[in-house]
Amino acid sequence: MQLTLWTYEGPPHIGAMRVATAMRGLHYVLHAPQGDTYADLLFTMIERRDARPPVTYTTFQARDLGADTAEIFKTACAEAYDRFRPEAMIVGASCTAELIQDDPGGLARALGLPIPVIPLELPAYQKKENWGASETFYRLVRALSGPAPAAGAPRRGAEGRRPLCNILGPTALGFRHRDDVTEITGLLGRLGIGVNVVAPLGASPADLARLGAADFNVVLYPEIARAAAQHLQRTFGQPMVETVPIGFSATTRFVEEVAALACVDPAPVLDEHGSRLPWYTRSVDSTYLTGKRVFIFGDATHALAAARVARSELGFAVVGLGTYTREFAREVRTEAALHGVEALITDDYLDVEAAIQAANPELVLGTQMERHVAKRLGLPCAVISAPVHVQDFPARTSPQMGFEGANVLFDTLVHPLMMGLEEHLLGMFHEDREFHDGAAPSHLGPRARVPEPVNTVTVAAPAAGISWAAEAEKELRKIPFFVRGKARANTERFARERDLALITIETLYDAKAHFGR
């Protein structure tokens, strides 16, 4: 067992909770000891939900282990049904309660409740959160979507109606899932395609029973919905679209694919996409930013999409690509090979930090953990994947998907680099009469009170056995912060190879000339 400060994913019952919290009319009874009820905070404090998750905990204590914990679970189930009257119930155990092997599914069935009760078997010591969400959604769809139609039976839905699809995958606590659904629903509407059911987000058990009425399924988040969509494909013969519409090119392919399945013309939507991203390639900004080195880490869906957008649409060089979603390691390794890098498959943020330092990127795209790592290393960073914090659940609509999502993603990736250029220019002129640290803001007039100067420039600690002269440190600070780490590392390597204990300005410039050849 490894003690860690951060974790990319919780145990699988947190994934089940994300599905339950996203839906209506579904209740989750979780066999868990006192202390395993912390997950409420994820939804009420981070996602800013105005209600607690629909979860009942047994919260047994240590003294209960010598008695009948099974009876505690049965009582909790019965009381949860009497209190909430859900349309369906899922039951399972937390990672701790799993060890006492009380069989929540069998205990719940013995109660004979007049609603569907779906047992969850989520091996907490082998699997994690995204897998738990996927398995929970799959179990719900398999139990509630109905049996396969009889051989020769006509497809559901009236002839002459407009084509229908299901949107699958968005959950509670997902990165921009709410906004992605809004954007993609609007995009499909402009194509003349109706949305039959969105699930899990906003769906009820009764809605899941209507899944078979759609003509095809749109899988927005494969980590969550691929297994359920494959079941629907086998059961109802529904094809699925797995192209994730993140970025201009991927959204264009997505529109073409759904239009082909629905037998509609994609041209009106493609001609009026409203994306500003193609304009970027003709702008001055693209000339400055082409070739910028970017390191990407996150869940598989967002990491893969960010890598393709960074390389193909923004002209960046991907120098690192990885994911903590081990179930999608093959796809990430394949994409990484296209960029000439080795994929990083890990759930240890310290491994990610070491890989970032080794890659010397100019931009980091990742989770909230990479945001903290990049801040410590003095690198610009943008968050493109869960896990995230409260600031990544904005009040405004800010999708990652669709043509508007391409605009949002453009801002997300480009702005940190542009602000880095501005900070560098201010740093270059910090001794100028107008821009030095003691100068008051120009709009306040010449007699404005000047605040005490604050040194906001951070420089990483020197390597062991090597020190920097004050003049060399001052010169190093003039280098743009997004390449300062690389300059420091190269200079210290240059000094180490020549047994130099003190780095002077001359050493700094000698190293620059050496590595610039």
User: Strands 502-503 and 467-468, how do they pair?
Assistant: parallel
User: Strands 164-168 and 194-199, how do they pair?
Assistant: parallel
Q: Which of 285, 347, 348, 351 is catalytic?
A: 285
Q: Please state, in angstroms and rounded to a whole number, the distance separating the CA atoms of residues 60 and 32.
A: 7
Residue 344: name the closest of 313, 381, 307, 312 by CA. 307
Q: Please state, in angstroms and rounded to a whole number, the distance separating the CA atoms of residues 276 and 288.
A: 18
Q: Which residues contact residue 376 at a Cβ distance below 8 angstroms, ignoring those fewer than 6 apart?
A: none
Cβ atoms within 10 Å, residue 292? 22
Q: Please state, in angstroms and rounded to a whole number, the distance separating the CA atoms of residues 216 and 9.
A: 30
Distances (CA, A) of 506 to 354, 439, 459, 471, 487: 29, 31, 19, 10, 14
Q: Is 36 among the annotated ligand-binding positions? A: yes
Give SS3 for 31: strand
Give me the amino acid identity at 313. Answer: E
Which stretches of 148-289 are DSSP H helices? 177-190, 205-208, 222-236, 248-262, 267-271, 277-280, 284-289
| Residue 285 annotated in active site | yes
Residue 57: name the closest of 106, 16, 23 by CA. 16
Cβ atoms within 10 Å, residue 350? 14
- Is residue 30 within 8 Å of 92, Cβ to Cβ? yes
- What's the order of all strands across the beta sheet hosting 55-57? 55-57, 26-31, 88-93, 117-119
Q: Is 420 among the annotated ligand-binding positions? A: yes
- Is residue 362 within 8 Å of 292, Cβ to Cβ? yes
Q: Which two tokens stand for residue 475?
A: 């010169």
Distances (CA, A) of 51 to 92, 164, 204: 22, 32, 17
Q: Is 106 among the annotated ligand-binding positions? A: no
Q: Which residues are annotated as a binding site?
A: 36, 420-421
Q: Which residues are annotated as a binding site for [4Fe-4S] cluster?
A: 36
Question: Which of the residues are catalytic?
Answer: 285
